[in-house]
Structure 1
Amino acid sequence: MFDSVVLDIAIGLIFVFLATSLAITAGNELLASLFKWRAKDLAAGLRLLVGREDGEARTGQPDITRALYQHPLLRGLHRDAATGGDSKAPSYIPPRMFAMALLDIALRPADGTGQLVAGNIAEMRAQIESKRPELGNRVTDTLLTFVNHAEIDARTAVNQLDHLQRDVETWFNAGMGRVSEVYRRRAQLWSTLLAFFFVAALNLDAIRITRSLANDPVLRASLIAQATEAVKQETPPAQPTPAAAPPRAGLPSAPAETAPSATAGALRQLQTDIGTINQLGIPVGWEDNPPQPSTWWWINKVLGLLLTGLAASLGAPFWFDVLKKVSSLRAAGRMPPPPDTTNPRRDPPDPA
């Protein structure tokens, strides 16, 4: 029952949506690399975390964002270690490095020499308070709260600095969670816009594709074979990962790439995904001399493009999961193999 033409058409259409979603993801990655969204969002989130509060600029409160970016631990993440601006700033900061850099600024003597003041709670509290003009009210009060927490928690009495560092890391992760949410909302918006742009540019009409699959068994078999290979993988094929995204929105491995190489890689991935769509065998592109369109033709065309655009905007992971489930459903519904005829059962001889 499940091994039917209708199910094969559904699998082929889902596979087309998956391929289109991969191209949308690559296009979104290209825009993020070109406009440096991750680095700018990270810098804005960092300023919100450790910068001036509203109205503090007029009272002379400092903004230590630049000091953090120029700290030796974080300057190594820059493409240009001499800058502290957004254009060449890192797109990811490990929480441990942030905590170590901030505590180094807060607990090192004012002359910048000597060891950190971390002998006991009273000395740490006095040192942080003495750095209030440099750190600002927000950061100073936050660090003092963490110091009080370390003093109250008897389990960390042996190493208060380690406890303080973990609290700063937790604080940083919480702030970067908001940054990641902003980034995700923007990425979703651009994914939707890119989906409709690609679908309209390539004329990926879901209704037309469905008709082609229904009328062309060779095309169905080809897409079924490609879909079967795709579901054998643990992740969507050629899935572009937002590797340099802010914390909790990506992996920390991509900051080693420079922006030009990351942009070039995203462009190559986009070209590859578009080429994959063109090689699927489905009807792609606009005809040079289309028939005279009627009102009903336009209704079908707009509806088909909208369906593909909405489907592609759901993302490759969604369609990959759907493809796996539908493919397993098709496999479970296959007809049993024909009986073995190499050694047929002989009927007993007729006693007559």
Structure 2
Amino acid sequence: MLDHPVVDVALGLALLYSVLSLVASVVKEWVSTLLSLRAKNLEKGIGTLIGDDYADRLYGHPLVNTLAKSKKKPSYIAADTFASALVDLIAQDEDGNPAVAMGDKAAKLVDRVGDDSALKAPLRAMANLGAETVDDLRRQVAGWFDEGMNRVSGWYRRRTQLIIFAIGAVVAVSANASTVHVAQDLWRDDAMRYAIAQEAVAMASDTVSADSVQVSDAILQSFPLGWGSEGDWGWGAWLSHLLGWLLTAAAVSLGAPFWFDLLGRVVKLRGTGKRPGRR
């Protein structure tokens, strides 16, 4: 156990980042929904996998176009649904009638794909690596889609992390939540540091997950935030605040789960501690 002002300052900053990260996450979800980012990211990933021509046809397939409402494109397609829809598209003739059956040789389906299509090479590879029938090929396509979507999920996470960083920057400036100045104030004010550390302990001991924690205005009001009487700012003050805002935005971009986990670890390191002024 360790009871030291440095630990309490770390607790205070972790608590601040946790709360601001929750705020940023809520705003990010709103932005993602408004801009249909998940659906657009999925569409881009499918286009990369099978080519734009087949992607357009896939989104028009009854198994796929019924997954979203109001003519919007779906934000999620199950692997089996994707594979069934794609195989069905390839297996149809020009009149929409089935030209290939599930029990036919996989090579018969692969031959229906044009040589200039991005889909030709992966389907041929699957057929050569053990997919004997069309149904075998359909199952391998489902697995291939899952692997591709893992990469697409990585694209989405990187994209949304940039969005959260931007949101964090806006929140940091608008609330004047400068890491540098909050840390300085916590270090100088024993009573405030202890009170905020106790808030952090209470938050860390809560059994609910980070995503469902209710953000309390009282927590943020405990911190030295906001735009009061700042006085005249010279270059040094501006640079100090700019550094502090950037540090806050970078911390927020790590996400609430990260900070709640770290909060719990620091609480275990700290122990219960003593009130300021007591021996």
SS at the partner of 2:20? Answer: helix
1:277/1:200 CA distance change after superposition, 3 Å: farther
TM-score (norm 1): 0.67
* 1:194 to partner: Cα distance: 2.2
- Is the CA contact (8 Å cut-off) linking 1:22 and 1:238 kept in structure 2? no
Cα RMSD for the two superposed structures: 3.1
Distance 1:103 1:69 in 2: 13
d(CA) in 1 for partners of 2:156 and 2:42? Answer: 9
Shift of residue 215, structure 1, vs aligned partner: 4.9
Unpaired runs of at least 5, structure 2: 275-279
CA distance in 1, matches of 2:162, 2:217: 24
> Which whole-Å CA distance do the structure 1 matches of 2:73 and 2:210 have between them?
31
5 Å-filtered alignment, 1:5-84, equals 5-51=5-51, 63-80=53-70, 83=71
1:278, 1:284 within 8 Å by CA — same for their partners in 2?
no
In 2, the alpha carbon distance for the partners of 1:219 and 1:169 equals: 56
Cα distance, 1:115–1:227 mapped onto 2, change above 3 Å: farther
- Aligned CA distance change for structure 1 residues 71 and 216 (closer, same or farther; 3 Å): same
Distance 1:109 1:119, change over 3 A: farther
Identity of aligned pairs, percent?
Answer: 31
Structure possessing the higher radius of gyration over alpha carbons: 1
Q: 1:142 aligns with which of 122, 134, 137?
A: 122
Matched AA of 2:223: I
Write out the 4+ residue segments of structure 1 that deviate beyond 6 Å after TM superposition.
none
Whether 1:178 aligns to 2:151 is yes
2:242 equivalent to 1:302: yes
Aligned position for 1:286: 227
Unaligned runs of 5+ in 1: 53-62, 153-159, 240-271, 336-352
**Which residue number in structure 2 is paired with residue 132 of structure 1?**
113
Aligned AA (2:107): R
Structure 1 segment 1-352 matched on structure 2, within 5 A: 2-51=2-51, 63-80=53-70, 83=71, 88-108=72-92, 111-113=95-97, 117-121=101-105, 124-129=106-111, 131-132=112-113, 137-150=117-130, 160-232=133-205, 233=207, 235-238=209-212, 273=215, 276=217, 279-287=220-228, 289-331=229-271
Distance 2:211 2:98 in 1: 53
* Contact 2:3-2:273 at 8 Å conserved across structures: yes
- State the number of aligned residues: 273
CA deviation string 1:47-78 (max 9, x = no partner)? 222225xxxxxxxxxx1222211212112211
Structure 2 distance, partners of 1:44, 1:327, is 43
Question: Contact between 1:212 and 1:283, CA under 8 Å: does it hold in 2?
Answer: yes
State the 1:4 CA deviation.
3.0
The alpha-carbon distance between structure 1 residues 127 and 334, as it changes in their structure 2 partners (threshold 3 A), is closer
